[in-house]
Structure 1
Amino acid sequence: MLNLLPDRLHRFLAARFSPEGEMGIHFTIGIVLILAAAWAFGAIAEDVVEGSAITLLDVRLAHWFRAHASSGFTEAMLFVTHWNGILGSSIMGALLAAWFWHRKAHYWLVVVLVSVPGGMLLNVALKHVFRRARPSLEDPLLTLSTYSFPSGHTAAATVFYGLLACYLVRRVRGWPKRTAVVAACCLMVMLVALSRMYLGVHYLSDVLAASAEGAAWLAVCITAVSTLQRRRIARARGREVAA
């Protein structure tokens, strides 16, 4: 019995790191990303609940942004934040879904239909779990009455631009182009996060946790849909062999 364990372990590991199969390397990477992002979110959330050092940095940074605000930069940040709000994210998600439908990329279509609205609902649920108040500032640039943690704009941006990056990386050839795609999408997420902090409606910990939340949720969606796609292909091949 003991002699069988190394063989079983070897087969298990070989299957997990195989580029083929229903639960190969894509599944392994997905699980690692989900666990890492979930751990990061949990660590930040714990620090916020316990009032750790990051909450002091939150307050200082919020006051620093307000003290160094300028009219031109405020207009730019308002544009970024409104473009990536609920309406803007919904429009961009719908356009991306229409593109996938036009390209007959049905599995990517499923991912965008699940990840974008699902991520928004998840963020609303988390806000009501933590019930953190918005930053309290004198003469704020923007005022909202909803909860602060985690940032909905940043989470939605992480999901949308992360999904866009995953799709484009598989479409373009060459690492320079792929690196440029990933860098551009990461920059957009950081701009959205910056806009929320600069406008005084979110703390640093809000946007960091939102990025982790969005990454975890996107990894769940892509891993699940990719696994279902591979299972469908494997079953189709099995029927062909049987025939």
Structure 2
Amino acid sequence: MNDKLRHPRRWLSAALIAGLLVMAAAGALFIFLADEIGEQAWLTRFDLSVAQFFHQHGAPWSVHLFETITFFGNVTTLGVIGLLAALVLAFQRRWSLLLGWAAALAGTGELNTILKNVFRRVRPQLQDPWVTPPGWSFPSGHAMGSFVTYGFLAYLLTRVPSTNFPRRIVIAALAILVLLIGFSRIYLGAHFLSDVIGGYAAAAVWLTFCILVTDRTQQRPRR
């Protein structure tokens, strides 16, 4: 018998501790990055050197490639994925999962907007930039949105009852896609490296919290 089913309280305690550790580590990383960019220290200089390197070595074909990749992290794409997954969950009457999914995605957008307005970091200023997105730079909205959306989607896939479904392969592909989306933002000059890492860190805190709460509602006995 699965240990999770045999010892639910023990598994929940271990999952809670692991989740809290992830949130603490990711939160500490975000605070560190936020503090460094606020002081205009070494991190800002390093960020600029990375941005200039990719801008100088960019080619039209690679720019088109990464523009395609970054498409999978924009608001419209993630919104469509969110709606489709919500419809599937509603059809299956998985209400707690649906609520967790909706809260995770909606909260990500609000959290990113708040953080951007708090830090007000200007985007990379490059000569003849490949892209000129509006708004502030830190943390990356594409990084946060893709991390939470595809991360929670991976969590939902672990709830698929079918044993024939290649969950590990799909989850690995989603993880690679999230990393590529983040890299595309750096390559295109839309964000600094620390913007993307900060986006991942903030997303990890929020995603882990949402999963822990959703898991808790899943394990609560029905009356």
Give the TM-score of the pair, scaled to structure 1: 0.81
Q: Counterpart of 1:94?
A: 83
- Give the aligned partner of residue 152 of structure 1: 141
**How far apart, in 2, do the equivalents of 1:104 and 1:22 lie?**
25
Aligned length: 215
Secondary structure, counterpart of 1:143 in structure 2: coil
Paired AA for residue 133 in structure 1: V
> Are the counterparts in 2 of residues 44 and 209 from structure 1 also a CA contact under 8 Å?
yes
Q: Report what 1:196 is aligned to.
A: 185
Quote the residue 2:51 is aligned against. 62
Q: Where has structure 1 moved over 6 Å in runs of 4 or more? A: none
Contact 2:150 2:175 (8 Å CA) reproduced: yes
How far is the alpha carbon of 1:21 from its aligned partner?
A: 7.4
Gaps of 5+ in 1: 1-17, 237-243
* Corresponding residue number in structure 2 for 1:48: 37
What percentage of aligned pairs have identical amino acids? Answer: 33
Q: Report if the CA contact (8 A) 2:96-2:217 is conserved.
A: no
Query: Shift of the alpha carbon at 1:197?
Result: 0.7
Aligned to 2:69: 80
- Kindly provide the CA deviation profile for residues 45-83 of structure 1, in whole angstroms up to 9, marking residues without a partner as x: 112112333222210111111111111111121122233
Give runs of aligned pairs for residues 134-149 of structure 1, distance below 5 A.
134-149=123-138
Structure 1 residue identity aligned to 2:144: A
Contact 1:152/1:210 (8 A) holds in 2:
yes
Superimposed CA distance per residue, residues 71-98 of structure 1 (whole angstroms, 9 cap, x where no aligned partner): 1111121122233211111111111111
Residues 108 and 203, structure 2, Cα contact 8 Å, conserved in 1 = yes
1:124 correspondence with 2:120: no
1:165 matched residue in structure 2: 154
CA–CA separation in structure 2 for the residues paired with 1:146 and 1:193: 17
The separation in 1 between residues aligned to 2:100 and 2:187, in whole angstroms, is 31
- Would the aligned equivalents of 2:105 and 2:145 in 1 still touch at CA under 8 Å? yes
Q: CA deviation at 1:23?
A: 5.7
Whose Rg is larger? 1
Q: Please state whether the residue corresponding to 2:158 is helix, strand or coil.
A: helix
Amino acid at match of 1:146: G
Give the equivalent residue in structure 2 for 1:207: 196
Q: What does the per-residue CA deviation read over 1:150-200, in whole Å, with 9 as the maximum and x for residues that have no partner? A: 0001100000111111222343659xx554333212111111111111111
Gaps of 5+ in 2: 1-6
Distance in 1 between the 2:163 and 2:35 partners? 41
Residue of structure 2 in register with 1:225 after alignment: 214
Alpha-carbon offset, residue 224 of structure 1? 1.5
How far apart are residue 28 of structure 1 and its match? 2.2
Alpha-carbon distance between aligned partners in 1 of 2:38 and 2:17, rounded to the nearest angstrom: 31
| Mapped partners of 2:12, 2:62: distance in 1 | 47
Contact 2:72 2:181 in 1 (8 A): no
* 8 Å contact kept, 1:134–1:202: yes
Q: Distance in 1 between matches of 2:111 and 2:79?
A: 15
- Do 1:84 and 1:192's aligned partners in 2 also have CA atoms closer than 8 Å? yes
